[in-house]
């Protein structure tokens, strides 16, 4: 039996959530992520597959075209997956969506992407779970692997070596390309910018204030990102409060210039692998008008020093979109995982 539940009746899911393929799902989460429709296939009192859809999402692709979305996707087998996914695609086409992306739970602020390649290393905190077969099942009904992401790992000692070498190379190149007068002017300009820049650790006793600053930077620096969708302040802060038990003050840094918050770096210890003493760099962001001033690099250097002082030995730079400028920070690191967001065109789709 295939059941379709609209957004006004999501509380009907209470009887199936938290068990079987719905393990880890709660009614609070489903309602917060607010799908327009939820589908599930049930036989002999067992749910075999499920997914949700979001319509008219205001998530925009690289060509400015709005996306429909499929998420909350779980299945026991391919046949069951095909039934709920095709029904979901038909509904999206019916309401006029040109294409659909997935898996994405309504927004890039929520869980999205599938693990599609791994070096075999242990999963890390906050990483999407590997789901065997899911990517192939999507491809078999016309979804194409379209948007690629990755995570890397690297020893912090090597990061220090590479950063020192890169800084020296920049200095040497500047000396070759510019006159002594120009170099003096450049040094004065850099010194002035650095004098105004302060990098501060957060205080867990003042977490709400820190989250307000991080929110303001995030909504400005990410608004040009692929499939960006605005988020309300309280929803954003609630999401980050969920990490509070994992936070170390020295690993969340906010850059301020003349008293104005202009950038941040957010990292947490990888509690899934305590023996490796690794740190996950989850987010780094700088306000658009300050992105040519080396603030991101300065934040990265500062957190490197703090992580070393705390006894950590490895960085995991997490979930970077291929083509994003932040991937320059980990160009020499080892690829540990790749992730994919899939896309399916609906205009020529047969029901």
Q: How confident is the model at residue 189 (pLDDT cuts 50, 70, 90)?
A: low
Structure pTM? 0.88
- How does pLDDT run across 115-150, given as a tens digit for each residue? 999 999 999 988 998 899 999 999 999 999 999 999
| C-beta separation of 22 from 47 below 8 A | yes
Distance CA 39, CA 50 (A): 5
Q: For residue 122, what are its two tokens?
A: 């242990």
Residue 175: predicted pLDDT = 44
Distance CA 61, CA 226 (A): 6
Alpha helices, DSSP H only, in 63-148? 78-94, 134-140
Q: How confident is the model at residue 174 (pLDDT cuts 50, 70, 90)?
A: very low
Please say if the pLDDT value at position 185 is more than 80.
no
| C-beta separation of 76 from 21 below 8 A | yes
- How does pLDDT run across 292-316, given as a tens digit for each residue? 899 999 999 999 999 999 999 999 9
Query: For tokens 């006029």, what's the residue?
Result: 96
Distance CA 114, CA 101 (A): 12
SS3 state of residue 23 = coil
Please say if the pLDDT value at position 26 is more than 60.
yes
Say if residue 325 is exposed, middle or buried (CB neighbours under 10 Å; 0-12, 13-18, 19+).
Answer: exposed
| C-beta separation of 92 from 346 below 8 A | yes
């Amino acid at each position: 039996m295939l059941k379709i539940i609209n957004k006004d009746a999501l509380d009907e899911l209470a009887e199936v959530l938290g068990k079987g393929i719905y393990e880890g799902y709660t009614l609070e989460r489903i309602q917060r992520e607010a799908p327009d429709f939820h589908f599930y296939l049930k036989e002999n009192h067992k749910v075999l597959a499920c997914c949700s859809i979001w319509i008219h999402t205001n998530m925009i692709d690289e060509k400015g075209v709005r996306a429909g979305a499929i998420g909350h996707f779980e299945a026991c087998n391919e046949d069951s997956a095909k039934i709920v996914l095709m029904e979901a695609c038909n509904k999206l086409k019916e309401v006029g969506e040109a294409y659909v992306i997935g898996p994405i739970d309504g927004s890039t602020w929520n869980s999205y992407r599938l693990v599609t390649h791994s070096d075999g290393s242990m999963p890390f905190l906050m990483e999407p779970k590997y789901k065997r077969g899911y990517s192939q099942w999507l491809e078999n009904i016309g979804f194409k692997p379209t948007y690629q992401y990755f995570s890397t790992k690297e020893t912090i000692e090597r990061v220090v070596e590479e950063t020192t070498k890169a800084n020296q190379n920049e200095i040497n190149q500047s000396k070759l390309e510019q006159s002594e007068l120009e170099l003096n002017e450049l040094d004065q300009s850099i010194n002035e910018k650095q004098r105004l820049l302060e990098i501060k650790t957060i205080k867990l006793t003042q977490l709400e204030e820190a989250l307000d600053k991080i929110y303001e930077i995030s909504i400005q620096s990410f608004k040009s990102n692929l499939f960006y969708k605005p988020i309300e302040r309280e929803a954003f802060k609630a999401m980050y409060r969920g990490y509070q038990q994992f936070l170390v003050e020295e690993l969340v840094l906010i850059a301020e210039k003349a008293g104005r918050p202009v950038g941040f770096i957010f990292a947490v210890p990888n509690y899934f692998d305590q023996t490796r003493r690794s740190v996950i760099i989850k987010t780094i962001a700088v306000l658009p008008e300050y992105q040519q001033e080396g603030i991101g690099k300065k934040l990265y250097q500062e957190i490197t020093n703090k992580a070393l002082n705390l006894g950590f030995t490895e960085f995991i730079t997490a979930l970077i979109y291929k083509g994003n400028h932040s991937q320059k920070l980990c160009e020499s690191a080892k690829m540990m995982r790749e992730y994919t967001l899939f896309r399916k065109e609906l205009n020529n789709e047969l029901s």
